[in-house]
Amino acid sequence: MTINRRSVLAGTAALTAGAGLALSGRPASAAETLTGVTYLPPSYADLAYGSQGFVDYVNDNHADAVAIDFYDSARLLSADEQLPALRSGTIDFMFHTTSYITRSLPILGITGLPGVVGPLYENPERIAIGSPLFELVNSELNKQGLTCLSFGGGIMEPEYIWSAGDPGIRSLDDIDGKKIRVVSFEATKAIEDFGGAAVRIPSSELYLALQRGTVDAAVANISTINGRSIQEQVRQVLQIPVTAYAIGIFVQTDRFEAMPEEIRSAMLDGAQWFDEHSAKQANVEYYENQYWPKFREGGLDVVDPDQDALDRFAEVSANVRTAWTKEVGEEIGQQAIALAMGETA
């Protein structure tokens, strides 16, 4: 059957029961094809490294069991359409940034909580496959019929505050009264707590928004800055870890568990590769070794906050963490935060 956007969207709109019937009649074959998606384009080489690497690894090492039909750049499904399609069974797996789907899957907010993302970024093993935090997050995802095979072995480098103008935002006090582009709920709350006005602007419009003064600054990961050439419009970056995200491989739990053993083994083997390479490659080989040196050489003023500023940010943004724990459940939320911070849950 030919896979195209129209047929996938039609399947997504179908009842879940229909998806279940399709699964039960699915024949096991020597090389069954699985369909996977991501909305991220290959031009984001740092982020695409892990997803394309996973696909290549499975196709190269498990060709006798499975073949992956992979669609990047939202060619098959947009970012908003991926999760419904996964739940309906019209795709087999998806790569997604956790920050994009925390409203639907609140437990994923642990990867973006202010005051937590700094220590979690510095200790990626805390969310690696098999870690207590990884298992806790999956236990909550399972309640919604989903499983994450890997979060890439860690979260991506946190999102900092990149500002235009002179002097721009060089301290937490400078946030007050500024219009700042954000994406996630966690970042919105954190910026508002310091008197800033949070503005939702897609990355595709950020360059012009900064150029025209629509916003004074942006909370963003360095991947967005590089991918959209935002370094041409900002003069400084305050390295306060406002929020962050991970890239996960998500499957529908029942559908995945019903797959033949050799296919599940192939996917899990690929997930192990993804866990060992994805976040590490982006954070070290791309960000640390390529992007930051290039930006500094281009004249970007990198403002490194002192410990007092970091402690103040964590203290003021405590209400963001409180709101999140109430949403996911007090016990689960506190346990997840403790594990992310390296404490005994």
Q: Do 225 and 142 fall within a single domain?
A: no
Banded model confidence at residue 184, pLDDT cuts 50, 70, 90: confident
Q: Do 218 and 270 fall within a single domain?
A: no
Q: Do 123 and 208 fall within a single domain?
A: no
Q: Do 75 and 215 fall within a single domain?
A: no
Q: Do 147 and 173 fall within a single domain?
A: no
250 part of a folded domain: yes
User: What local confidence, expressed as pLDDT, does residue 204 receive?
Assistant: 85
Exposed, middle or buried, 157 (CB in 10 Å: 0-12/13-18/19+)? Answer: buried
Domain count, the chain: 2
Query: How confident is the prediction for the chain on average, in pLDDT?
Result: 92
Q: Do 264 and 226 fall within a single domain?
A: no
Banded model confidence at residue 16, pLDDT cuts 50, 70, 90: very low
Q: Do 79 and 151 fall within a single domain?
A: yes
The model's pTM = 0.89
295 part of a folded domain: no
**DSSP assignment string, 122-142:** H-GGGGSTTSHHHHHHHHHHH
In the structure, how many helices (H) and strands (E) does the chain have? Answer: 15, 11
Greater confidence (203 vs 287) lies with 287
Strands in 6-139 per DSSP E: 32-37, 66-71, 93-97
The three-class DSSP label of residue 281 is helix
pLDDT at 334 over 80: yes
**What is the number of alpha carbons within 13 Å of residue 40 lying toward its C-beta?**
22
135 part of a folded domain: yes
293 part of a folded domain: no
CA–CA separation, 159 vs 182, rounded Å?
Answer: 10
Q: Do 92 and 124 fall within a single domain?
A: yes
First to last CA, the chain: 48
Domain that holds residue 66: 5-156+245-286
Q: Do 218 and 335 fall within a single domain?
A: yes
Q: Do 239 and 251 fall within a single domain?
A: no
Q: Do 234 and 311 fall within a single domain?
A: yes
Banded model confidence at residue 270, pLDDT cuts 50, 70, 90: very high
Distance of CA 306 to the CA centre of its chain: 27
276 part of a folded domain: yes
| Chain segment 56-112, per-residue pLDDT in tens | 999 999 999 999 999 999 999 999 999 999 999 999 999 999 998 999 999 999 999
Banded model confidence at residue 50, pLDDT cuts 50, 70, 90: very high
| Chain segment 63-77, per-residue pLDDT in tens | 999 999 999 999 999
CA–CA separation, 290 vs 269, rounded Å?
Answer: 29
CA–CA separation, 114 vs 241, rounded Å?
Answer: 7
Q: Do 230 and 334 fall within a single domain?
A: yes
CA–CA separation, 140 vs 149, rounded Å?
Answer: 14
| Chain segment 139-160, per-residue pLDDT in tens | 999 999 999 999 999 999 999 9
**Rounded mean pLDDT of 230-240?**
97
CA–CA separation, 8 vs 89, rounded Å?
Answer: 10
230 part of a folded domain: yes
Q: Tokens standing for 333?
A: 């939320």
292 part of a folded domain: no
| CATH label of the domain that carries residue 35 | 3.40.190.170
294 part of a folded domain: no
CA–CA separation, 327 vs 75, rounded Å?
Answer: 33
User: What local confidence, expressed as pLDDT, does residue 98 receive?
Assistant: 96
